[in-house]
Structure 1
Amino acid sequence: MNNHRMGLSVETFNNFTSLHQFFDILSLNDDKSGNTFISVIESKEYPIYAVMFHPEKPLFEWYEKEDINHSTNSIKFSQYCSNFFINECKKSSHSFSDQDFEYNSLIYNYIPKRFKNIKTYQQLYFFNQTI
């Protein structure tokens, strides 16, 4: 799912030494106006990734006015992205300081707000407290 405009072009990327020394370009995409932009980059040395599309939307968004591909291949790709991200997170040695702090930080403590008429997302979480 890609509904972006004004993405980062390869030319602009290459004009910034700090960007092309730190990141590799993994994929390109075209926006609705036909402009090519960088859609996936990854760090050369660190587990840092950036995507300029929504791999989660084919699995979770069903807004009929958006052009979201729900084909088998699209779902499989979304699942691949999810699994990749989870496996990268599992490599971290970070942990919560105690079980109560962890429990209080879980998404299950928050209730999503459902929106019917928002073009981009059907439900949102609002976090009013700092952890």
Structure 2
Amino acid sequence: MMIKLFLIILVILQSKAYDIVKRVSNENTRPIIGILSQPTPYDWQKPNGTTYIAASYVKYIEATGAQVVPILMNRSIEYYSHLFNSINGVLFPGGDSTDEYLYVANLFYVWSLKQFDETQRVFPIWGTCLGFEVLLMLTRRSTDVLEPCKGYDFATELTFTPDAANSRLLGSSLPSSVKNSLENEPTTANYHNFCIRPENFTNDPVLSTFYKMLTISPDLEDRTFVSTMESRRYPIFGVQWHPEKNAFEWRVNTTIPHTKDAIDVMQYMANFFTNQTRQNTNRFDSLQDELKYLIYQYTPEFMGLDVSHFQQMYFFYK
């Protein structure tokens, strides 16, 4: 009798184990995330280093168990289409808005929406600072959605809106300790000169229909701006602040928070986005094709602690 009971339990456990393996096998365990490059400011340029990516964004993604592909500027539509169909998501980084950046961001934005509408297949997009602002522009199909904002080089808390509680980014998946840090400690680094005000966001029928406003924050003039949002329908997320700086930027004489709580905030945001990309099953045609595009083909350069906004940068040459 005992042997029979043991065998029954063993069969049940094996069945459950098989179900777990099946569920795990449906998860992309080798996510690859693209990061947009952008034109190099003149005073940072190396010889022929026409575009760049701050290394902090690469480290931010790699710290979650994902790999990075730099998305270069001034390439063919076939190049961008190939990457869209080979990688699992894209990060729009902070920086200065340029026509090249907007053009490439728009391609991935439009393709992501179209794919989801037609097949329900996700292609997640994350926008940080300029990337957040570009998401607003692309959704509104206008560059006039922002206004000047005193938001450069300061850390602040977040005030959660009612929509945050039922959001993907800041809802039930958010640990209570991280939520407490975001609400009560200056754990978000801000480096922006433009923003959107909550009233302008709410009163815009296009933006308020497409996005949920998840948090607001005060700027240096104590005026409120929208600091976090996510799409109501699509896997699109944006923050006006810089989570990656908390762990990976060490420029002297800045307000970037480096406390343990600030690092936990950074890690949660990075993990969340990478976990979204794990739902995308794109892959390169071959390992050789994959290796050709990965960031490992490039070497970051140390910029010093007081020369640029970034301690390390990847430069890309024509």
**Contact 1:3–1:31 (8 Å) recurs in 2:** no
**Aligned with residue 107 of structure 1, among 295, 300, 306:** 295
Matched ranges for 1:9-88 at <5 A: 9-88=197-276
Question: Partners of 1:33 and 1:94 in 2: how far apart?
Answer: 45
Structure 2 SS opposite 1:25: strand
Between the aligned partners of 1:113 and 1:30, the Cα distance in structure 2 is 35
Map Cα deviations across residues 53-92 of structure 1 (whole Å, 9 max, x no partner): 1101111011121101111110111111111011011111
Q: Separation in 2 of the partners of 1:92 and 1:54?
A: 25
2:307 maps to which of 115, 118, 131: 118
CA contact (8 A) 1:112 1:124 kept: yes
TM-score (normalised: structure 1): 0.90
- Tell me how many residue pairs correspond in the alignment: 129
Aligned-partner residue type, residue 124 of structure 1? M
> Which stretches in structure 1 are left out of the alignment for 5+ residues?
none
Q: What percentage of residue pairs aligned between the two structures are identical?
A: 36
Q: Do the aligned partners of 1:40 and 1:51 also contact (CA within 8 Å) in 2? A: yes
SS of equivalent to 2:317: coil
Could you state the TM-score of these two structures normalised by the residue count of structure 2?
Answer: 0.39
Higher strand share: 2
Query: 1:126 Cα deviation (Å)?
Result: 2.0
The question of whether the paired residues in 2 share the 8 Å contact of 1:28 and 1:37 is answered with yes
> Higher relative contact order by CA 8 Å / sep ≥ 6: 1 or 2?
2
Structure 2: which 5+ runs fail to align?
1-188
| Higher Cα Rg, which structure | 2
Q: Which has the higher helix share?
A: 2
